[in-house]
Amino acid sequence: MALTLYWYPKCGTCRKAKKWLDEHGIEVQTVHLVDEPLTKEQLARLHRQSGLPLKKFFNTSGMKYRELGLKDKLDRASEDEMLDWLASDGMLVKRPILTDGERVVVGFREQEYEAFFAAGT
């Protein structure tokens, strides 16, 4: 099954995830989140597959998140509004996102990656 890693190469967490994948001999197709932003439809699909609250897809430590004042807006926003924001700028998206087309991991924690691959990719 093809694996896709949505990432931003200048992000330290993304580089750690890519290094972990490389060290484990796991090939992935990489997609640069800023150069090739996810569409609203792609984000909606990843959100459904992840089983996570949509808020977990926001890069809450990013400058863009703070500039837009999203901390105060997310609680009142509809899912549609949140997807619009995420699709508007790749820097708003929490990264990396790893998917095999059915399952999704947002962010990088070694234990989550180990569990993802133990579950049978």
**Confidence check: pLDDT of 79 > 70:** yes
Domain boundaries, the chain: 4-118
pLDDT band at 13 (very low <50, low <70, confident <90, very high): very high
**Confidence check: pLDDT of 15 > 60:** yes
24-35 pLDDT tens trace? 999 999 999 999
Q: C-alpha 46: how far from its chain's center?
A: 8
**Confidence check: pLDDT of 119 > 90:** no
How would you write the chain as a 3-class SS string? Answer: CCCEEEECCCCHHHHHHHHHHHHCCCCCEEEECCCCCCCHHHHHHHHHHHCCCHHHHECCCCHHHHHCCHHHHHHHCCHHHHHHHHHHCHHHECCCEEECCCCEEECCCHHHHHHHHHCCC
67-78 pLDDT tens trace? 999 999 999 999
Domain 4-118 carries which CATH code? 3.40.30.10
